[in-house]
């Protein structure tokens, strides 16, 4: 009887904290008997409090198994619908380096069958390193996006000479001219004349060519890929299906001059359920709709089904990492008696910088311990830089967290979905240290990056320990 009660209570707790729910990407997160956050890897589980005790805060904790699962699931899903719908093109998933360039992220993705997408010469340099160390099979495909400097172009040419399949995606007339003699496949980026309902659909886009411009170019040497990238945090199926339809129409026109064209790259932009409030569409349904559309539209136009390339970034990387902070203390909110400030030993400006992007100001929070606390408190969070903007008020609403009481005197905060972009957006505002990075893999917990020390930060600003210089 008692056991049954605990079980029931436990189930509600999980639901309350939005854990263990696949639609919110928290299916691997659970609460143990002591009310502490645990993360499952198969039948193994990591206790986050143990990690906090050993490595302190602020710390990013990365779970490669979550990333691997997501990569494997998506590749399988596309291949399953390709088979079911008798689609003749192939599917390629490219890991988006800019969403997280840490070696600990990139290698597991490649090991699950991801190809690579880079956005700069320095990301491509890391690919060169892997190539020199013979770290991947030569069948891997590397797409190169972004405006290209001369150094970037030279490195693309160098890697192509070394036998790597490296595909520059041409952004403008300068690059078109520059890649005229390129021996390998090239792609071209189109800025589709289409509006979709998403955060980042800009009227004036500085990437790629307009449709009319591409059609004027007609013949492009070794053209194999038509690339577009519509938006980010795209929360509607229509936002994927509509552009795909439009791209296939353009593809079929381009193919008349460029018979080597065989691939459509639909870029990134897949939504992540950061807020864990409303349920987004299912990936399964989306993939089904996309393959169905690609098949129907190309059959209508009488063209061979194009290969499909996916460059979703945050969809894979965001849910595979959490960031933990200690809650230092509470403070009353003046003239708002029902709400308290909880100060963290980290920063929204320095460590969760995306809080300020137009796209994504919301995060999901739980604590790492005392998740079974009986009393909860309405909270606003404050970072520990001296900046008036370093706070998170859920847009003037509140966050519910355990209340500080006699029994609850230490609290640690977990922020979910921090695995994409935050690591490179990170900064040293007020010379606050960058967090440590801890990796949990195959039951082993290891430190991947130490928390920045005062000496290291000082050096970055020219303080080399010799005060006379």
Question: Which residue ranges make up the site for ligand PLP (CB under 6 A)?
Answer: 96, 98-99, 119, 145, 229, 232, 267-270, 311-315, 420
Q: Which is nearer to ligand PLP, 96 or 196 (CB)?
A: 96
Least distance to ligand PLP, CB of residue 96, Å: 4
Q: Which is nearer to ligand PLP, 94 or 370 (CB)?
A: 94
Please state whether 117 falls in left (phi above 0), alpha (psi between -120 and 50) or beta: beta
The CA distance from 56 to 43, in Å, is 26
Q: Which is nearer to ligand PLP, 145 or 385 (CB)?
A: 145
Least distance to ligand PLP, CB of residue 189, Å: 8
Tokens of 450: 């130490």
* Helices (H), ranges, 21-93: 48-55, 64-84
Least distance to ligand PLP, CB of residue 18, Å: 22
Residue with tokens 């193994």: 44
Least distance to ligand PLP, CB of residue 119, Å: 6
Q: Which residues contact 275 (CB under 8 A, 6 or more apart)?
A: 362, 364
Nearest to 109 by CA among 98, 130, 93, 122: 93
Least distance to ligand PLP, CB of residue 185, Å: 17
Q: Which is nearer to ligand PLP, 225 or 248 (CB)?
A: 225
- Would you say 291 and 239 are in contact if contact means Cβ atoms under 8 Å apart? no
Please state whether 362 falls in left (phi above 0), alpha (psi between -120 and 50) or beta: beta
Least distance to ligand PLP, CB of residue 171, Å: 10
Least distance to ligand PLP, CB of residue 369, Å: 32
Q: Which is nearer to ligand PLP, 100 or 347 (CB)?
A: 100
Q: Which is nearer to ligand PLP, 143 or 258 (CB)?
A: 143
The CA distance from 389 to 268, in Å, is 30
C-beta nearest to ligand PLP: residue: 268
Tokens of 222: 């070794």
Q: Which is nearer to ligand PLP, 307 or 369 (CB)?
A: 307
| Cα–Cα distance list, 429 to 356, 402, 437 (Å) | 14, 29, 19
- Would you say 324 and 414 are in contact if contact means Cβ atoms under 8 Å apart? yes
C-alpha angle with apex 229: 135 to 142, nearest 5 degrees?
Answer: 15
């Amino acid at each position: 009887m008692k056991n049954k009660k605990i079980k029931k209570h436990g189930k509600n707790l999980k639901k309350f904290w939005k854990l263990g729910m696949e639609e919110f990407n928290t299916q691997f997160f659970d609460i143990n008997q002591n009310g502490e956050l645990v993360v499952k890897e198969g039948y193994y589980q990591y206790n986050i409090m143990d990690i906090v005790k050993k490595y302190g805060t602020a710390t990013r904790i990365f779970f490669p198994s979550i990333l691997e699962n997501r990569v494997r699931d998506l590749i399988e899903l596309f291949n399953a619908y390709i088979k079911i719908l008798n689609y003749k093109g192939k599917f390629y998933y490219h890991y988006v380096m800019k969403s997280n360039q840490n070696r600990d992220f990139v290698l597991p993705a490649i090991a699950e069958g991801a190809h690579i997408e880079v956005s700069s010469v320095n990301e491509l340099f890391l690919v060169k390193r892997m190539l020199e160390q013979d770290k991947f099979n030569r069948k891997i495909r590397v797409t190169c996006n972004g405006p290209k400097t001369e150094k970037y172009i030279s490195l693309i040419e160098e890697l192509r000479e070394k036998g790597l399949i490296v595909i520059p995606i041409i952004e403008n007339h300068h690059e078109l001219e520059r890649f005229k003699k390129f021996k390998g496949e090239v792609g071209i980026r189109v800025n589709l004349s289409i509006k979709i309902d998403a955060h980042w659909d800009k009227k004036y886009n500085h990437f790629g060519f307009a449709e009319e411009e591409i059609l004027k170019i007609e013949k492009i040497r070794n053209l194999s890929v038509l690339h577009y990238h519509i938006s980010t945090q795209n929360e509607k199926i229509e936002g994927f299906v509509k552009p795909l339809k439009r791209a296939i129409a353009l593809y079929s026109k381009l193919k008349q001059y460029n018979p080597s064209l065989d691939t459509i790259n639909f870029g990134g932009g897949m939504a992540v359920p950061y807020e864990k409030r409303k349920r987004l569409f299912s990936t399964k349904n989306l993939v089904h709709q996309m393959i169905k559309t690609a098949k129907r539209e190309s059959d209508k136009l009488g063209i061979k089904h194009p290969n499909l390339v996916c460059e979703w970034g945050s969809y894979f990387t965001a849910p595979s990492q959490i960031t933990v902070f200690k809650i230092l203390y509470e403070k009353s909110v003046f003239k708002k008696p029902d709400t308290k400030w909880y100060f963290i030993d980290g920063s929204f400006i320095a460590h969760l910088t995306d809080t300020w992007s137009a796209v994504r100001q919301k995060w999901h929070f739980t604590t790492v311990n005392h998740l079974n606390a009986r009393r909860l408190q309405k909270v606003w969070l404050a970072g520990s830089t001296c900046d008036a903007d370093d706070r998170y008020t859920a847009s003037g609403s509140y966050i519910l967290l355990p209340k500080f009481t006699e029994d609850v005197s230490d609290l640690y905060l977990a922020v979910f979905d921090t695995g994409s972009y935050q690591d490179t957006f990170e900064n040293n505002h007020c010379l606050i240290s960058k967090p440590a990075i801890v990796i949990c893999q195959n039951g082993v917990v290891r430190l991947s990056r130490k928390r920045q020390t005062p000496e290291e930060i000082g050096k970055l600003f020219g303080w080399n320990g010799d005060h006379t210089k």
